[in-house]
Amino acid sequence: MRQRWLVLGLLGVVMTLAVVGTALVTLRQVIAINSELAQVSRALHHHKTADEMHDALRADVARAELVGMGQSPASAGQIRREAGRHATRFRRQLEAAAVLDLPPSLETELARIRPIQETYIVTAEAMAAAALSPRGVTPGAQTDYEAAYRFLVPEQNHLTARLVATTGRVERAAGDQRDQAERTMAVATSVALVGWLALVTWHRRSTRRLQGALVREAEHRSAADLLQRSLLPLHLPRVSGALLAARSVPGSSRNRVGGDWYDAIHLPTGEVVLAVGDVVGHDLPAASVMGQLRNSLRAYAVEDASPASVLTRVNRAAHLLHTSDLATCICVVLDPVTMMATWASAGHPPPLVTYPDNTRRLLEGEPGPPLGVLAATRYPEHSITMTAGDTLLLYSDGLVERRGLALGEGLAALQNVPVAHDDPERMCEQLLMSMVPENDNQDDVTCLLLQVQAESRTARDLAASPAVGPGAHA
């Protein structure tokens, strides 16, 4: 009996050591795959930030050209500082990605594209400096800059796709590795019940910790959803003679919180303020900035129902609070009696008007700079008088911008997308379905739509009444 217990004890020890050895090997594999996942995720983050700086430098060059032509209130010093800051951040992202421990294929790809990115940085800085110089931009410099930009865009898109695909593969491998570890532990526990008592206890504790993490993650997601809903209107106001509809869909982000926002405010004067804004980012800080800008706009609109004045004051607040490097907004004030819509834009895409015959046009008008970029700036106002059946669409750039697709192409597609014209709610749904491919909303998408149903005063009434104030223009 004693020998049997000794054999069983030794067998239990051997089995325990075997299982412990297997568990250690499996744990080492899990650690290795998670380490690889962390490195690839960091590379993806650095590359996306570099891609944002690529676009920021493009914007800096455009602003430098406007300053050089005398068409922008910005100073040459401000443009140079912004371009230098974006170029420096671009280079830091490249350096950070270069020291990561990545699979050989990704390291080769990063090393291959880096000279192309560095060439673009140098070319963009030189282009901005030339645009701000008295001599201006030479045709040769313009050609070199455009060639560098066009050549880099598909290269960065290709690298983004490689990084995303690799991240997904490593995540699946990590999940498979964890599943295999759990199966090994379960089988070992059933075979060596006595010897595995301590290990079972550890396993239960690990399971409880995992469940606690999942509960916290669910609570976090629930809080993120609640935050998103709290920062947008619960319902749209009723407007005499018009219907309103809106949609806001966060982009693909871990926190499921976007930086887009919209608002519709009924003023004591009877006028209605419509606004759509876009803050760079898809996380909780972006949502926080979005909430500050929305609340500022609401407060200033009540005091002065001038879109230009509202944006000027919101811009001043954004600059003083250092809320964001880039935030755009469009503000429209509608008089429901005359159906005159007065609007101003802070770097935002232009509104779109759809007529009863389903023809469309983008409203022309010079936009001002984005919010928080310049401490003091003025936003030009533009007006249009709408008639029965006209529809005014405000939207964020997520509706018309895609990786590898020029903004002009997106705006042209928006003017030609087939949508129903009889119901604003249906128009919103069909716009999103047609303009945003399924599972491809990397950016937040927001649209706010107003459709005139009946005029309080017809065009004949307005023509017969004496003119008051400056005339409206489309």
* Per-residue pLDDT tens digits for 39-55: 888 888 888 898 888 88
Residue predicted with more confidence, 126 or 18: 126
Architecture of domain 234-464: 4-Layer Sandwich (3.60)
Instruction: Identify the pLDDT of residue 305.
Output: 85
Cα dihedral sign for 109, 111, 112, 113?
positive
Instruction: Identify the pLDDT of residue 188.
Output: 65
Instruction: Identify the pLDDT of residue 342.
Output: 96
Residue 4 has pLDDT above 60, yes or no: no
Q: Select the highest-mean-pLDDT range: 33-37, 68-72, 220-224, 354-358.
A: 354-358
Residue predicted with more confidence, 392 or 254: 392
Confidence of residue 464 (pLDDT cuts 50, 70, 90): very low
Residue 396 has pLDDT above 80, yes or no: yes
The domain made up of 2-195 has a fold known as: Four Helix Bundle (Hemerythrin (Met), subunit A) (1.20.120)
Q: 214 with 422: CB under 8 angstroms?
A: no
Residue 204 has pLDDT above 80, yes or no: no
Rounded Cα–Cα distance for residues 109 and 158 (Å): 10
Residue 223 has pLDDT above 70, yes or no: no
Confidence of residue 230 (pLDDT cuts 50, 70, 90): low
Q: What residue has token string 């982000």?
A: 253
Ranges of CATH 3.60.40.10 domains, the chain: 234-464
* Average pLDDT over every residue of 372-385: 90
Residue predicted with more confidence, 302 or 322: 302
Residue 34 has pLDDT above 60, yes or no: yes
Ranges of CATH 1.20.120.230 domains, the chain: 2-195
Instruction: Identify the pLDDT of residue 368.
Output: 92
Per-chain mean pLDDT for the chain: 80
Residue predicted with more confidence, 3 or 453: 453
Instruction: Identify the pLDDT of residue 315.
Output: 92
The residue type at 138: T
- What 457-465 contacts at long range (C-beta under 8 Å, 24+ apart), as own/partner pairs, is 457/337, 457/338, 457/339, 459/385, 459/387, 462/338, 462/385
Q: How much of the chain exceeds pLDDT 70, in percent?
A: 77
Residue 390 has pLDDT above 90, yes or no: yes
Q: How much of the chain exceeds pLDDT 90, in percent?
A: 21
Confidence of residue 135 (pLDDT cuts 50, 70, 90): confident
